[in-house]
Amino acid sequence: MDKQKEIVKQFVSGENIHIAPLGAGHINDSYKVSIDGKEYVLQKINHAIFKNVPELQNNIIRVTSHIKAKLTEKGVTDIERRVLNLIPAKNGDFFYKDNEGNYWRLMDFIKDSKSFDNISPALAEKAGEAFGEFQNMLADMPGEPLYETIPDFHNMESRLKTFRKSVKDNLAGRLSKVQNLVDEIEKRAEEMCLPEKLHREGKLPKRTNHCDTKVNNVLFDAAGEEVLCVVDLDTVMPGYVLSDFGDFMRTGANNGEEDDLNLNNVSINLPIFEAYTKGYLKAAKKFLTEVEINNLALGAKLLTYMQTVRFLTDYLDGDIYYKIKSREHNLERSLAQFKLLQSMEENFSEMQDIVKKAAE
């Protein structure tokens, strides 16, 4: 960890520096840092994916400053636990570029907090409210729209275009093995591009979204009872609310794991689906349009489908995007996501009823 120690010194000074790996992100590398007793999170930003780091960091500063102002207005006292706080490097930037061209950032570690990969309905409801409130707080952020840190990030038409090119190029020579899954994806392509069509027709707005509402991106207090804050702000940008709703369901309302090898474990957990929907709509009903509400359940299918496509694209490309733990990991992930999608399809009318009831 000598390299990381040198980087930390570009941000803060101190004597006793301890560094250990942290978390399970698929993109950036994270470390927990302790310096003379004070704790931080150090991250190496994957700049092959986030190509414009200064703009990325500028987004996060804008978002966190706006949230801080909102919390202050509300009289919240423990703001340092309610929103991420980036630490500037000694050169004044909110990132540091090392001599190998890698970008790093440092932020305060939020004390006495925890996140979950498996959540109870009671906590899912609180997480729903937190993400609804997150969108609500960002609705009146002044200035230009946020920079799109990854262009067309949740645009299904563009994801399919990339996927079809990967199928055609078959760079890793894996196509014959996954042809069935490719066919299943194509069968659903038109249905899954509906939000893009609705947007073009002026019927579905874009709002400031989190765009990575994985269940483990919500921090709870140490007792695991109350939400403290929403983390991982790399992809906060304009998008459809059904994306944020859907990505939570994809991760939080799955009875199995994202990459479960035992597909029998994988299915939609309707009590979690219901609880999150209730919490989300409690916070968001006041600003959502009818079209947005009517398409939330579709969002759960869409984000699961999108992730099936994204993992399979990376498998076809030869594993160049996501970190993998084993040779076939991207295919295993894609198959588990597809199984979850099928379960959502089987339960879709119930999912729609749940949304309808919670929106009344």
Residues that bind ligand GN1 (CB under 6 A): 25-27, 49, 212, 232, 235, 258, 307
d(CA 252, CA 34): 31
Asked if residue 232 binds Mg ion (CB under 5 A), the reply is yes
SS3 108: strand
Residue 222 is given by DSSP the state T
d(CA 257, CA 265): 8
Minimum gap (Å) between residue 212 Cβ and ligand GN1: 5
Minimum gap (Å) between residue 315 Cβ and ligand GN1: 14
Minimum gap (Å) between residue 212 Cβ and Mg ion: 4
Q: Per-residue x/- mask for Mg ion, residues 7 to 26, rule CB under 5 A?
A: --------------------
Q: What are the Cα distances from residue 203, in Å, to 132, 159, 208, 293?
A: 20, 21, 17, 12
Asked if residue 319 binds Mg ion (CB under 5 A), the reply is no
CB-nearer residue toward ligand GN1: 212 or 332: 212
d(CA 177, CA 328): 11
d(CA 266, CA 260): 7
Interior/surface letters 169-201, b for 16+ CB within 10 angstroms, e for the rest: eeebebbeebeebbeebeebeeebbebbebeee
CB-nearer residue toward Mg ion: 153 or 220: 153
Q: Which does 307 bind (CB under 5 to 8 A by kind): Mg ion, ligand GN1, none?
A: ligand GN1
Minimum gap (Å) between residue 25 Cβ and Mg ion: 6
| Closest to 213 measured CA to CA, from 319, 313, 135, 138 | 135
Given a contact cutoff of 8 angstroms between Cβ atoms, the answer to whether 277 and 270 are in contact is: no
Residue 218 is given by DSSP the state E
Q: Which two tokens stand for residue 57?
A: 């960091």
SS3 105: strand
Q: What are the Cα distances from residue 234, in Å, to 28, 277, 288, 289?
A: 10, 24, 24, 26
The one segment of 5-13, 124-132, 208-216, 243-251 that binds Mg ion by CB under 5 A: 208-216
CB-nearer residue toward ligand GN1: 217 or 267: 217
CB-nearer residue toward ligand GN1: 280 or 311: 311
Minimum gap (Å) between residue 83 Cβ and Mg ion: 17
- The single residue among 125, 129, 133, 212 that binds Mg ion, judged by CB under 5 A, is 212
Minimum gap (Å) between residue 248 Cβ and ligand GN1: 11
CB-nearer residue toward ligand GN1: 126 or 333: 333
CB-nearer residue toward ligand GN1: 64 or 235: 235
The one segment of 36-44, 117-125, 229-237, 255-263 that binds Mg ion by CB under 5 A: 229-237
CB-nearer residue toward ligand GN1: 30 or 352: 30
Minimum gap (Å) between residue 238 Cβ and Mg ion: 17
Judged by the rule CB under 5 A, the positions of this chain that interact with Mg ion are 212, 232
